[in-house]
Structure 1
């Protein structure tokens, strides 16, 4: 098998940069300290993507915009545009489809391409990869890394070796030289928790994992130990699974607030706003969720996360909110809250829906209500309709006392 792993470099930032250049912005934000972050005007949200210049200031993906601004006051901040990102992802997919129909869309900015049947037609695979890379840069305006290997694991690890805008190979004979010297944390499927367990036994590199006894690894890490032992030796028998839709592993929404949330009422109000946003995205993608996770960070920077795997699936805002409130009940210790996020995973299509844990009559009503609200916001903008609960808060653009369950249309109509 011959596999290409095509990965967009700093996808959100690159796609935003290409769009700005096309619109005559005059500067390439990839060449300056710049980030993509939620709600830049209010300094809310976290860093979603950063330029290489921003990285030199110590700015990290996942930290708050406030923290990033402390490191680089001149930082250029741009809001995400998910419709743009989807269109850029589609354009890349269409170009790759010219080379092979066997494409697995692993995420919005990653694809695996099975090039096995194309070997004779394309000749040298490295030359073909360079052709694809340069076409994407010239025709679509952004850069990619392409990893080449004899399976998906080797192709992915090759593409991660050095960025941006490069081609790398990871043939079986190159594994001892290119893969084994890397830190264990760099191996696909080795997270922080696994890394810490391995370090206790003086296993610090991918080579250490490869040379360790698979029986011992299974004793320490159960079946996961056998998986990473295979990966460390470049063994991966999983085929490229063809799919036309992007495989979204999860959806989330979070904010870092410019003020502390002091009461449970304030927390619940902001939590509902987060649930509305992530619920709208879930429904836009035609998915339902089987797992809900909530993370909060207190004003003294202590962080807490709780999650629950559901026996069924959910999709409405109210369902997400009920679960999220339960998770807050379990972990909030009464401290002032400075940041909070809600995320959904275990995503399924509607044809895979399991029985919901919520009352079917209320669920049907809420599904219809969410559909109407989603359509209004799609046509007239996010600020065109909002819950009465958000009146007299920073979430709402107007003032007024309305019952929690009511919606207000801008223009004075109550729904």
Structure 2
């Protein structure tokens, strides 16, 4: 049996890279927005919204993904802001995944801009895995116009960790034999599933690096952190038991999640976020010509406790409002009023066939809403995400800047097992995420 070989391929600053590639496609003489301080997120005109992606020079000036645009501009007065165009990003993601499938026997889309490729047994076809990764990286740049990082290892956990090393446009390896040199010296905060509270508790125990956790007493870690301790101890030792799956995204469903810039403790704010997520998920469902019959809500609190709940619908749907109603009901049942760090909405049992159980007194409501949603999708696709929006987003309280201009809700979730379905996720990508 050949040894497992996994690539993790991650687009560098995806939304900004994809926006830059599109602008250069339209005008080859246009300036490359990756070459000066720039961000994707919100509106240059209103100066509201949050940073969804940033250029390297903006990052060097301290601009952070997920922070309010006003705060980013204080750090960088010359910052250029570009509104997001989600339809472009979805298409670029499709092209990216399609190219990977030309070479990899199995591609598992982990988010809109990253994927795990099972390359086991391909060395006889492509030669040295590191050399081929460089060729693949360069081909993506040549054909699609953006750069990627590729991490290589024997499992997803280590491959993902490797791809997060120095960026952009790099190939890194992190095999078990390299853990002591490359992985164990990293600060404990760099380990997946180690959030702020967990890191503080680990440091209080004298554990400041991943290597110290790996060499610590397993029973002691379990006694302090319970089942979470088992997970992080295994991760520190490079152990990740979940196999790379190869499933068609449409069969999984569609999902999106948002890592919040600030802990949310208000129900109304949380439900604004849920509506934003449902709008994006609904648009993707309709773009795929699909219908779903399962809706799930996920909550991660500020101590990184994960809870979720789902419901099976009596009728399949592609209607944003129906998804939102279900999401709110699930949220009300699920939330224990702990401060929220992340919210996610996912769907399942996607199908191309539609079945509907009509309410006797409202038989045409869902049909009308579906047509209305499709019309709104078309307007946004042609004129941009901010061309039409719900009043509740326009009137969003300035005290909750993470909600501004989140009509698309396209945040790339990194601190949870992102929904590979439809390559959906959160651009404000925390490092501490389960692969």
Fold in common (TM above 0.5): yes
Q: CA deviation at 1:94?
A: 1.4
1:342-391 superposed Cα distances (whole Å, 9 cap, x missing partner): 9433543447xxxxxxx97789766434312202212345799888xx59
- In structure 2, the residue matched to 1:312 is 311
Q: Are residue 11 (structure 1) and residue 14 (structure 2) matched? A: yes
Tell me the distance in 2 between the aligned counterparts of 1:136 and 1:144: 8
Q: Distance in 1 between matches of 2:104 and 2:151?
A: 16
Q: Which residues of 2 match residues 148-167 of structure 1 at below 5 A?
A: 148-167=152-171
Q: Distance in 2 between matches of 1:81 and 1:135?
A: 24
Post-superposition offset of 1:321: 5.7
The 1:188/1:321 distance shift into structure 2, 3 A limit, reads closer
C-alpha contact 2:256 2:277 (8 A) present in aligned 1: no
Q: Which moved more, 1:111-120 or 1:126-135?
A: 111-120
Q: Decide which of 23, 43, 50 is 1:20's aligned counterpart.
A: 23
SS of the residue 1:182 aligns to: coil
Between 240-249 and 177-186, report the one with greater CA deviation: 240-249
**What CA deviation, in whole Å up to 9, does each residue of 1:312-358 have, x standing for no partner?**
368434445677799999799xxxxxxx999433543447xxxxxxx
Higher strand proportion, which one? 1
Task: Specify the alignment match of 1:250 in structure 2.
Answer: 256
Counterpart position of 1:112 = 116
Structure 2: how far apart are the matches of 1:45 and 1:362?
A: 40
Question: Equivalents in 1 of 2:350, 2:359: separation in Å?
Answer: 16
Residue 290 (structure 1) aligns with: 296
Question: Which of 10, 24, 34 is residue 38 of structure 2 equivalent to?
Answer: 34
Matches within 5 A, 1:161-240: 161-240=165-244
* Root-mean-square deviation over aligned CA pairs: 3.9
Show the counterpart of 2:148. Answer: 144
What is the Cα deviation at residue 39 of structure 1?
Answer: 3.4
2:132 to 118, 128, 132: 128
- Partners of 2:33 and 2:365 lie apart in 1 by 42
- Listed as ranges, the matches of 1:326-337 within 5 Å are none
Identify the residue that residue 348 of structure 2 maps to in structure 1: 348
Q: TM-score of the superposition, structure 1-length normalised?
A: 0.75
Contact 1:278 1:342 in 2 (8 A): no
On the 8 A contact 1:324/1:342 being kept in 2, the answer is: no
Q: In the superposition, relative to structure 1, how do residues 325 and 386 fare at CA in structure 2: closer, same or farther (>3 Å)?
A: farther
Change (3 A) 1:167 1:42: same
Helix, strand or coil at the partner of 1:285: helix
Q: CA deviation at 1:108?
A: 0.7
Contact 2:299 2:335 in 1 (8 A): no
1:294–1:328 contact (8 Å) kept in structure 2:
no
Counterpart CA distance in 1 for 2:299 and 2:362 is 21
Query: Residues of 1 paired with 2:55 and 2:362: CA distance?
Result: 43
**Structure 1 residues 386 and 87, CA gap change in structure 2 (3 angstroms):** closer
Q: CA deviation at 1:311?
A: 5.8
Count the aligned residue pairs: 361
Assess if the C-alpha contact under 8 Å between 1:158 and 1:169 holds in 2: yes
Question: TM-score, normalization: structure 2?
Answer: 0.71
Of structures 1 and 2, the one with the larger relative CO (CA 8 A, separation 6+) is: 2
Residue 65 (structure 2) pairs with residue 58 (structure 1): no
- How big is the shift at 1:290? 2.3
Q: Greater CA radius of gyration, 1 or 2?
A: 1
| 1:61 counterpart SS class | coil
In 1, the alpha carbon distance for the partners of 2:368 and 2:261 equals: 25
Q: Distance in 1 between matches of 2:259 and 2:188?
A: 30
Q: Which runs of 5+ in 2 are unaligned?
A: 286-291, 314-321, 352-357, 396-435
Write the distance in 1 (CA, Å) between the matches of 2:359 and 2:347: 20
1:142/1:362 CA distance change after superposition, 3 Å: farther
Distance 1:123 1:329, change over 3 A: closer
1:45 aligns with 2:45: no
Q: After superposition, give the CA deviation of every residue in 1:226-284 in whole Å (9 maximum; x if it has no partner).
A: 2222221222232211133288663359999xxxxxxx9xx96x988766543322222
